[in-house]
Amino acid sequence: MTALLGEAAADVGDGDRHVGAPVARPPRTRRSRRIRYTLTVLAFLLPSAIPIVLFVLGPMVAAAWISLTEWNLLSPAKWVGFENYANLLTDPETAEIFLHTVYYIVGYLPLVYLGGLAIALGLNTALRGRTLLRGVYFLPVVTSWIVVALVWRWLLNPVNGVVNTVLAFFGIEGPGWWADPAWAMPSIILASAWKDLGFVMVILLAGLQSIDPELLDAARVDGAGWWRRLFSVTLPLLSPATFFVIVISLINGFQVFDQVYAMTGGGPGGASQVVVQQIYDLTFRYGKAGEASALSWLLFIVILAVTVVQIRGQRKWVNYG
Amino acid sequence: MRTTALATAGIVAVAALALSGCSADSADESGPVTITYTNFISNDGNEENLQTIVDAFEKENPDITVEVTTLPYADYGTALQTDLAAGTVSDMFDIEYANYAQYQANGVLAELPVANPDAYRQSLLEAYQTDGTQYALPSSFSTVVLYYNSDLFDAAGLDYPTADWTWSDEQAAAEKLTDAAAGVWGDHQPVSFYEFYKVLAQNGGEFLDDSGTKVAFNSPEGIEAAQWLVGKSGTVMPTIEQGQGTPDFDTNLFKDGKLAMLHTGIWVFGAVADVPFGWDIAVEPGNTEQASAVFSNAVGVSSGSKHPEAAAKFAEFLTSSDTMVQTRLDSGWELPPISDEAALATYLEQGDPANRQAVFDSLDGIALPPVVAEGQQEMQDIMTEELVEAQAGRKTVEEALASAEERINAVIGG
């Protein structure tokens, strides 16, 4: 965002030089005006620039440096060059934790998008009490992950949890959920989709409400049914909101941590260990801040690559009307 | 929305850069000084007891003020590491025996001269010496014993556990005491590193070989010990799915009268004091040998402290003063690390549990946690993880130990 604003500011500055000042004006005044303009822009940027530099760019640069060292947080860091990266790239565990993370995203994204879409479509109608319902669906979004994770752990308790008790009522033997390596990740996906449903719903609802009702009316007059209107009118016009949801969810998905930490701690037996949990463990449990920083940068590169591909690919399907 | 992954690791470094310059005010030593002390030993019930000791110290030393910060044990290690990395660590902080070597080797502990070394139980004092120099002072010790619900034993017509019991006695009693229909379990022993090195010693095995960089537990003794540990789950002890392994699950089960025997530390005396049934303790049964876990906490002075003399003075008061001994004995807090047996005698007459002598008897055969120079926490985590795999039946005990051996050796440099 900073970069975009910076460009915009530079553009205006250029315009000023080429079009604005008459030739007769002394250069000194012109320059001082430009300096004043730049300072004004900077003043407006400062409130967001300071925290970004201090808490995002600063730590990123620091992490890049730490990633080239061996540092246990206690003794001075020791320079090791690219050894941490080499170790990570040859360690089969690295591939494993990235695979677990991708597994999470592949399970989570369709669930949260389709669920959010269904609720947004439902709440976009003249339903009674829809304002209340919108609030209810948004409630989990603003609830602490620790609370949500503990409640879900309890709901999904393999022996006496609500979910398996209900399943047993219908004669189905419920799975071992978080206690079973095969079901630990699905448990986390389920809880995450439930919690984030409201966020996706709000974004998509805003998108739905910006769609001109006349377009839908026209389609109806032309004889298009509900599904036809959904696929040919609503979804194409909703694509900018969909794009936003997918980009944000993917970035957050790669950084999944809180729910894993609180629900399974990466277990059982490492079955739900994800990248950020590994970064946490390496730094704060095992005193390997260098390796953790290297892993952070690998994760950053992966997220960057995925996001760039998405932004390139959006031209093919995102319709800004 | 969320802290980025990079920031998670990098923020430590920025904090280090930003805060290292302003860690402590540099008051001169002659005037009044304030020292800071971060602890976990008083968390969860003993905060006022610690304050009693601090108040007594400040009364004797009007020039020194002690500022206490208390953190829960679960967060303490992370908080301490972060503070050490950022240069914001307190003048004094708690450490555990298992972590002492690592902190000492990394130079974060200042030398700690002791005015009166004879006041301490020598073995405990020596545990915090490196090459003959004292780097921390033991603040307490505690042991793990076998708690039992005597009402349940009476109802089943069984004799109470004694110091002569072995695993097979415990096993036989646990089976008779387990009553699935009534939701009553016979036994509870956590499946973890901390139990494993102990049962290994009870079975005559060794955790590490002589080099200290290779494990030695993948042996017939080790397999039998691991089997004893994980075999309880689902037979005489609840399974993980039933809640086993979650914090305080075992003590709560015992307090509810649904658990006949419980392996845990003497630090739970206070928590189970008011139960409406009879209970007592016994020395933990061994198999071929008797070995009880002894835990010891200590307090160290930061090598970066601006007031090392004042901190050392409080450290010694905190760990050997009469006020401390009296406060600990009166409240049933963990035991004072002192050599004076007469002072400890009052401990025996404090009431429940009646057999307090077992606490001292358990010191006759002790098992100390294996300590490695590098990868201590990783070693502990791997051991627990593999044992839980065996407990859940996803691996055989043999497979779990073989895997633990391979993984731990790779971490500790074997």
- Chain A hits for B388, Cβ within 8 Å: 267-269
CATH of the domain at B245: 3.40.190.10
- Report the residue of chain A nearest B382, measured CA to CA: A269
Tokens of B250: 């075992």
Instruction: Quote the percentage of chain B above a pLDDT of 70.
Output: 93
**CB atoms near residue A317 (< 10 Å):** 10
Task: Please check whether residues B125 and B14 belong to one and the same domain.
Answer: yes
Between CA B128 and CA B123 the distance in angstroms is 9
- Chain A hits for B2, Cβ within 8 Å: 252, 255, 257
Taking the CA of residue A109 as centre, how many other CA atoms within 13 Å lie in the half-sphere pointing to its CB?
A: 19
Closest residue by Cα to residue A154 from A165, A168, A142:
A165
Closest residue by Cα to residue A216 from A124, A127, A131, A128:
A124
Task: Please check whether residues B250 and B310 belong to one and the same domain.
Answer: no
Task: Please check whether residues B284 and B390 belong to one and the same domain.
Answer: yes
How many angstroms away from the CA of A96 is the closest CA of chain B? 16
Indicate whether B37 belongs to any domain.
Answer: yes
DSSP letters of B179-220?
Answer: BGGGTBBS-----SHHHHHHHHHHTT--SB-TTSSSB---SH
Count contacts between A and B (CB, < 8 Å): 122
Find the helix or strand (DSSP H, E) in which B33 lies: strand B33-39
Between CA B312 and CA B318 the distance in angstroms is 10
Measured CA to CA in angstroms, residue B163 lies from A283, B173, B193, B359 at distances of 43, 15, 24, 11
Work out whether strand B64-70 and strand B292-301 pair parallel, antiparallel, or are unpaired: unpaired
Where does chain A have alpha helices with state H? 2-15, 27-52, 58-66, 83-90, 92-123, 130-138, 145-155, 162-169, 181-209, 213-221, 226-229, 235-254, 258-263, 275-280, 289-317
Assign residue B369 a region: left if phi > 0, alpha if psi is -120 to 50, beta otherwise? beta
Task: Please check whether residues B66 and B85 belong to one and the same domain.
Answer: yes
Structural domain count of chain B:
2
Indicate whether B360 belongs to any domain.
Answer: no
Indicate whether B60 belongs to any domain.
Answer: yes
Q: What is the pLDDT of residue B391?
A: 94
- Report the residue of chain B nearest A58, measured CA to CA: B14
pLDDT at B77 over 90: no
Q: What is this structure's pTM?
A: 0.80
Closest residue by Cα to residue B115 from B253, B303, B259, B312:
B312
- Chain A hits for B107, Cβ within 8 Å: 74-75
Between CA B233 and CA B226 the distance in angstroms is 12
Task: Please check whether residues B349 and B405 belong to one and the same domain.
Answer: no
B348 Cβ under 8 Å from any chain A Cβ? no
Q: What is the pLDDT of residue A28?
A: 64
Domains parsed from chain A with CATH numbers: 2-66 (no CATH), 85-317 (1.10.3720.10)
CB-based contact A38:A9 (threshold 8 Å): yes
Between CA B271 and CA B332 the distance in angstroms is 10
Q: What is the pLDDT of residue A76?
A: 87
Which amino acid is located at A182 in the chain? A
Task: Please check whether residues B70 and B178 belong to one and the same domain.
Answer: no
Q: Which of B12, B102, B407, B411 best tests the A interface by mutation, with the highest count of A CBs <10 A?
A: B12
Tens-level pLDDT at each residue, chain A (321 residues): 334 434 444 444 444 444 444 555 555 678 888 999 999 998 999 999 999 999 999 999 999 999 999 998 888 889 999 999 999 999 999 999 999 999 999 999 999 999 999 999 998 887 788 889 888 999 999 999 999 999 999 999 888 889 999 999 999 988 989 988 999 999 999 999 999 999 999 999 999 999 988 999 999 999 888 999 999 999 999 999 999 999 999 999 999 999 999 999 898 888 999 999 999 999 988 889 999 999 999 999 999 999 999 999 888 888 876
Q: What is the pLDDT of residue B171?
A: 95
Q: What is the pLDDT of residue B223?
A: 96
- Distance from chain centroid for Cα B309: 28
Task: Please check whether residues B310 and B398 belong to one and the same domain.
Answer: no
Q: What are phi and psi of B133, to 5 degrees?
A: -105, 135
B83 Cβ under 8 Å from any chain A Cβ? no
Q: What is the pLDDT of residue B10?
A: 53
| Euclidean distance between the first and the last CA atom of chain A, given in angstroms as a whole number | 23
Task: Please check whether residues B266 and B307 belong to one and the same domain.
Answer: no
Q: What is the pLDDT of residues B111-126, one digit of tens each?
A: 999 999 999 988 889 9
Measured CA to CA in angstroms, residue A249 lies from A238, A290, B87, B385 at distances of 16, 28, 37, 31
Handedness of CA A175, A177, A183, A186 (dihedral sign): positive
Tokens of B266: 């003497």
B303 Cβ under 8 Å from any chain A Cβ? no
Task: Please check whether residues B286 and B346 belong to one and the same domain.
Answer: no
Q: What is the pLDDT of residue B355?
A: 92
Mean of pLDDT values over B369-387: 91
Q: What is the pLDDT of residue B43?
A: 85
Task: Please check whether residues B84 and B137 belong to one and the same domain.
Answer: yes
Between CA B232 and CA B171 the distance in angstroms is 9
- Report the residue of chain A nearest B11, measured CA to CA: A59
How many angstroms away from the CA of A175 is the closest CA of chain B? 11
- Domain residues for the domain of B82 are 7-141+297-354
Indicate whether B52 belongs to any domain.
Answer: yes
Tokens of A13: 């500055």
Indicate whether B362 belongs to any domain.
Answer: no
Indicate whether B84 belongs to any domain.
Answer: yes
B74 Cβ under 8 Å from any chain A Cβ? no
CB-based contact A318:A245 (threshold 8 Å): no
Test A289 with B85 for CB contact under 8 angstroms.
yes
Cα-based torsion angle of the residue sequence A240, A241, A245, A247 in order, rounded to the nearest 10 degrees: 20
Tokens of A108: 């989570």
- Chain A hits for B10, Cβ within 8 Å: 58-63, 66, 293, 296
CB-based contact A115:A193 (threshold 8 Å): yes
Task: Please check whether residues B36 and B99 belong to one and the same domain.
Answer: yes
Indicate whether B1 belongs to any domain.
Answer: no
Which amino acid is located at A261 in the chain? Y
Test B85 with A300 for CB contact under 8 angstroms.
no
Q: Which of B2, B5, B10 sits opposite A62 (nearest CB)?
A: B10
CB-based contact B380:B193 (threshold 8 Å): yes
pLDDT at B133 over 90: yes
- Chain B hits for A74, Cβ within 8 Å: 81, 84-85, 102-103, 106-108
Where does B204-340 have alpha helices with state H? 220-230, 249-255, 308-320, 322-331
Test B385 with A279 for CB contact under 8 angstroms.
no
Q: What is the pLDDT of residues B241-260, one digit of tens each?
A: 887 877 778 999 999 999 99
Q: Which of B102, B108, B241 sits opposite A158 (nearest CB)?
A: B241
Task: Please check whether residues B178 and B251 belong to one and the same domain.
Answer: yes
B17 Cβ under 8 Å from any chain A Cβ? yes
Q: What is the pLDDT of residues B148-179, one digit of tens each?
A: 999 999 999 999 999 999 999 999 999 999 99
Indicate whether B114 belongs to any domain.
Answer: yes
